[in-house]
Amino acid sequence: MSDSREIIINRAVKEIEEGMVVNLGIGMPTMIADKIPAEKNIFLHSENGMLGIGNYPIEGEEDADLINAGKETVTAKPGAAFFDNAESFAMIRGGHVDLTILGGMEVSQTGDLANWMIPGKMVKGMGGAMDIVQGARKVVIIMTHTNKAGEAKIKKQCDLPLTGQGVVNRVITDMAVFDFTNEGMVLREALNGHSIELIKENTDADFTIDPSLSGGQ
């Protein structure tokens, strides 16, 4: 795992609180499962019909019927429940998922999210992302702060097709943590020793700074 991913995942796991029902998206979010302390009583939910996902299995003990959103084999915790796809989405749409942590391609300063396709590239479908960002009680997006070309991924306005408008509550990158409030986007934390000035340089969006941060106004 790269240093950037390690920073993001270690910070993201702190979002998960005792007793939560949590949905983890494909890609980097699925790595969070192995970081959750064993003593913490939480319930990982998969839109493909499982509540109570455990850690990744030991090699040789995989069960092809137990998979996460990314189609990776997982284990089931004691007391796990299995159900059909319709029941799973009823849980999501009914507001029974406390927290979802998803990957992102772009996030706007108003909390819009683009994470399901890049025009011109083949895509299998949007999966459950559009339902999850509307149905979960809290939506946290994790992603690198800039793309491979060094361009900001937190922008005034998303250029890619939207997954949802105004749905993001928090975004965690390898540089910072931002919240989306009625007053706009707020920088809450600077991560890994990054200065506020460097964060500003790598963020296209407009934001205010939490007064608790050094130099915040």
**Known catalytic residues?**
47
| Alpha-carbon gap, residue 130 to 142, rounded angstroms | 16
| Alpha-carbon gap, residue 86 to 95, rounded angstroms | 14
Burial 64-89 (b: 16+ CB within 10 A, else e): eebbbbbeeebbbbeebeeeeeeebb
Residue-level length of the chain:
217
Given a contact cutoff of 8 angstroms between Cβ atoms, the answer to whether 156 and 186 are in contact is: no
